[in-house]
């Protein structure tokens, strides 16, 4: 399944050169990933209260072209590499159909004590059965 999220670029997202500040792509990835999980039926707030958190342990971003104030990003998110305690989200960012950025985040499932734990079966089932 490919999940799509749109993000509008505001002045506050840009640097002094008028392009999207490079670190903001990680924020945009976070929004896209969270929206995907919610749409798959995995509410991060609910699971956090149950002592289940997904923490980023690796992030990669490849910049191909800039986005600027007024652009609308379309972020395609997919899940790959689901393992017992971790998973990987992949991102492709487009502006008007043109790929401007790609990236990934690797997540570890941890408890409130920040120690690794198995992804609960209920979550794993929703993340690996992405027919919708």
Q: How many CA atoms lie within 13 A of 91 on its CB side?
A: 31
In the set 8, 15, 39, 43, the catalytic residue is 15
CA distances from 96 to 4, 39, 75, 79, 86 (A): 14, 24, 11, 23, 33
> Per this entry, what is the length of the chain?
132
Say if strands 98-110 and 86-95 run parallel, antiparallel, or are unpaired.
antiparallel
Give the integer Cα–Cα distance in Å for 18 and 2.
Answer: 30
Q: Is 9 left (phi over 0), alpha (psi -120 to 50) or beta?
A: beta
Task: Please say if 15 is a catalytic residue.
Answer: yes
Catalytically active residues are 15
């Amino acid at each position: 399944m490919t999940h799509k999220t749109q993000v509008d670029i505001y002045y506050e997202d840009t640097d002094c050169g008028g392009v999207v500040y490079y670190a903001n792509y990680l924020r945009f990835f976070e929004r896209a990933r969270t929206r995907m999980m919610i749409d798959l039926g995995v509410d991060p707030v609910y699971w956090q209260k149950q002592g289940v958190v997904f923490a980023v342990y690796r992030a990669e971003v490849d910049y191909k072209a800039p986005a600027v104030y007024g652009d609308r990003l379309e972020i395609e998110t997919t899940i790959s590499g689901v393992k017992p305690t971790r998973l990987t989200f992949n991102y492709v960012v487009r502006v008007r159909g043109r790929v401007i950025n790609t990236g990934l985040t690797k997540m570890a499932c941890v408890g409130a004590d920040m120690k690794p734990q198995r992804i609960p079966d209920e979550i794993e089932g929703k993340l690996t059965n992405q027919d919708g």
